[in-house]
């Protein structure tokens, strides 16, 4: 919970930093957290939707469909081939026997809560020295958005249109603000001044 009159938002992490973190967590046998950060960054889903994922959804096909909890809208997600191999590695490492099991369950066999994951993310930020101010469950969705935007290069405006639709934003300006692009563009105005 944030303090009254405070402004707290999540920040994205650089794509290469995210990939490195996923690999380090796997190396340290934190398979579920590794997979969670990977899925969040590769699929761009909200945490409420990530927590509904089952192994079957991720492994049995190259795409899956969810109904977003927040919007009630249908969304089809394509699973990257190389990432799907990684998912299979996590499945094997965790000795999962039921593909219908939710992917993100605690040792108590209950699905993690968003609050618990945010606590774990604070610990991850500290332990792995992440250079990000506000690292939370929403950081993964923003990491996805920033990667899509940056990878588009000269087609970045088209990428924003696609992201706006994927994120179910009302318009592209909302997506720009969401990804922090609007703030960056406005702050660049000050760099145009000379002294």
pLDDT single digits (tens) 14-64: 999 999 999 999 999 999 999 999 999 999 999 999 999 999 999 999 999
Sign of dihedral through CA atoms 160, 162, 168, 172? positive
pLDDT single digits (tens) 104-115: 999 899 999 999
Q: What span, in angstroms and rounded, lies between the C-alpha atoms of 133 and 54?
A: 31
- Asked whether residue 183 is domain-assigned, the answer is no
Contact 41, 143 (CB under 8 A): yes
- Show the domain range for 132: 15-151
- Asked whether residue 39 is domain-assigned, the answer is yes
Number of domains in the chain: 1
- Asked whether residue 83 is domain-assigned, the answer is yes
- Asked whether residue 189 is domain-assigned, the answer is no
Paired with 97 in beta bridges are: none
Note the pTM of the prediction, 2 decimals.
0.86
Q: What span, in angstroms and rounded, lies between the C-alpha atoms of 9 and 135?
A: 9
- Asked whether residue 159 is domain-assigned, the answer is no
- Asked whether residue 119 is domain-assigned, the answer is yes
């Amino acid at each position: 919970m944030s303090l009254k009159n405070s402004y707290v938002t999540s920040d994205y992490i650089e794509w290469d930093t995210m990939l490195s973190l996923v690999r380090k967590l796997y190396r340290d046998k934190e398979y579920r957290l590794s997979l969670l950060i990977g899925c969040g960054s590769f699929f761009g889903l909200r945490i409420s939707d990530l927590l509904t994922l089952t192994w079957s959804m991720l492994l049995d096909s190259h795409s899956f469909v969810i109904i977003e909890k927040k919007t009630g809208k249908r969304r089809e997600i394509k699973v990257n081939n190389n990432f799907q191999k990684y998912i299979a590695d996590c499945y094997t490492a965790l000795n999962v026997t039921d593909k219908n099991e939710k992917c993100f369950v605690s040792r108590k066999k209950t699905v993690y809560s968003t609050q618990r994951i945010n606590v774990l993310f604070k610990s991850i930020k500290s332990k792995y020295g992440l250079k990000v101010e506000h690292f939370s469950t929403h950081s993964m969705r923003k990491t996805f958005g920033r990667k899509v935007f940056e990878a588009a290069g000269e087609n970045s405006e088209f990428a924003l249109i696609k992201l706006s639709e994927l994120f179910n934003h009302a318009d592209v300006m909302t997506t720009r603000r969401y990804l922090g692009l609007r703030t960056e563009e406005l702050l660049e105005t000050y760099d145009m001044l000379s002294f």
